[in-house]
Structure 1
Amino acid sequence: MTETEARTPTSYERVMLKISGEALMGDQGYGLHPPTIARIADEVDSVHRMGVEVCMVIGGGNIFRGLQGSAQGMERTTADYMGMLATVMNALAMQSALEAKGIHTRVITAIRMDEVAEPYIRRRAVRHLEKKRVIIFAAGTGNPYFTTDTAATLRASEMNCQAIFKGTKVDGVYDKDPIRYPDAKRYDEVSYDEALQKNLGVMDASAIALARDNKLPIIVFSLDEPGGFRGILSGQGTYTRVTDGVSRHGREVKA
């Protein structure tokens, strides 16, 4: 990347990137896929080079999902704590990939494990961002019954992020599953209330409600599109913006 490209103008100064644990497993179906982690680290690196302060939350579903464990007979609180530990493993893997690119990175957990990560202290976390370090928040909120979507929204609010960028496998929010239905329509913009009422799958209800209460936009985009994260920050690309505005449809999916 040239110096000119690195300084591409953007209206964002500090953002939260939320990705699922499944995004790290590539085509394996389980666990961690190092080339995929490296590719996502490239996306973060390109945004970091723009001067944007980046914090991240990564799910743990590629290793263990608390809700599924509970459904199989495990006590829910125990299952959720196991899921939180899975997010720490993913955060450490991403930290390693980012630091291999020369980016100073801190993993901050909601559950104390001082030998591997820092405990969550808001002022310290803000200071890391001010020093242009990438922060990866792990272990959710530290409480069972809350998802990493909610954790991402909570931390984004605490860090005064200007938006949450949710990386998915599709380029936005659709009125129905675009993989199954060729006539699915993508929203250019959708309101928090409509996302909740129609259960559009942007994030869980608690996360959307918290974002709405704090007027925090959620931008849903495809993490599989190379350069997509940086492109959207530069005012390009395809995505859906979830705000308190009026919902607007974009293009239809072509069969």
Structure 2
Amino acid sequence: MTDQPAPRYQRVLLKLSGEALMGDQAFGIDPAIIFRLADDILALRAMGVEVAIVVGGGNIFRGEGLAKAGMDRVTGDQMGMLATVMNGLAMQDVLEQRGLEVRVMSALSIPAVCESFIRRRAIRHLEKGRIVILVGGTGNPFFTTDSGASLRAIEIQANIMIKATKVDGIYNADPVKDPAARRYDQLTYNAALDQRLGVMDATAIVLCRDQGMPMMVIDIHAPNNLVRAVMGEPVGTLVTA
């Protein structure tokens, strides 16, 4: 019997945008997507991979959008952080239904709902085989959940940050609007910044670059893509120094 190849990455941080959870719906969470994600994460745990997840909240609420319409930006961002908590709790429930141990840890203090984020405790949860869902962004306004994901990936000493999106990598133009857009298999952080490719906000990219955190952008809708990415297969765009 042939031994299964070992995963390339032993501890990963998965960044899930609210839009990725929404699927083709106009609002909320597409059950088919969250169930399939749970199956992929279950498969990763079966291989011994430690998994942390940062979730966005754009499928429920976007603080920046309301700020442009006149709402106080700090208030809007705080509402957006609370939306990430709702997504995190939904993800926790689906994962626990599959027999996984899960901890939701928030940058905002909500002790009746979830744990507060403490770096050493988060790492200990991962070492014990628990899935750690990180919500509330950074706990501060004006920072995106992309920046929060970069920060948390560095803090928990992940081997890679995987950003799950609706496209299969980073392109030199919007592939929806430009059929001739070219996909990158690999890219440097500086190239992503210089070309303003929009893969993540600049703060998130600079954090990863300066701390040597590799990042991969994959299509979350493609079956088994997450597992393939963790095994080291070229399923998206890898961004490194």
Shift of 1:155: 0.5
Change (3 A) 1:204 1:5: farther
User: Structure 1 residues 41 and 112 mapped into 2: Cα distance closer, same or farther (>3 Å)?
Assistant: same
**Aligned residue in 2 for 1:20:** 17
Any conservation in 2 of the 1:55–1:135 contact (CA below 8 Å)? yes
Name the CA distance, whole Å, in 1 between partners of 2:98 and 2:199: 31
Distance 2:208 2:3 in 1: 30
Which of residues 105, 109, 130 in structure 2 aligns to 1:108?
A: 105
Give the letter aligned to residue 39 of structure 1.
R
- Number of matched pairs: 241
- Asked if 1:117 corresponds to 2:114, the answer is yes
Structure 1 residue 42, shift from structure 2 partner: 1.4
3-state SS of paired residue (1:176): coil
Q: CA RMSD in A?
A: 1.5
CA distance in 2 between partners of 1:171 and 1:36 (Å)? 16
Show structure 1 runs of 5+ residues with no match.
245-255
The letter of the residue matching 1:27 is: D
Q: Contact 1:6–1:49 (CA<8 Å) still a contact in 2?
A: no
Shift of 1:60: 0.2
TM superposition score normalised by structure 1: 0.91
Equivalent AA in structure 2 for residue 82 of structure 1: M
Alignment match, 1:98: 95
What are the within-5 Å matches in structure 2 for residues 170-181 of structure 1? 170-181=167-178
**Residue number among 218, 221, 228 corresponding to 1:221 in the alignment:** 218
In 2, the alpha carbon distance for the partners of 1:10 and 1:222 equals 19
Q: Establish whether residue 81 from structure 1 lines up as the match of residue 83 from structure 2.
A: no
Stretches (4+) displaced over 3 A: 4-8
**TM-score, length basis structure 2:** 0.96
Distance 1:132 1:227 in 2: 21
Question: Identity across aligned pairs (percent)?
Answer: 50
Q: 1:101 and 1:156 mapped to 2: Cα distance? A: 25
Q: SS of the residue aligned with 1:57?
A: strand
Structure 1 residue 7: Cα displacement: 5.2
Task: Determine the C-alpha separation between the residues in 1 that align with 2:145 and 2:171.
Answer: 22
SS at match of 1:103: coil
User: 1:171, 1:71 → 2: CA distance?
Assistant: 30
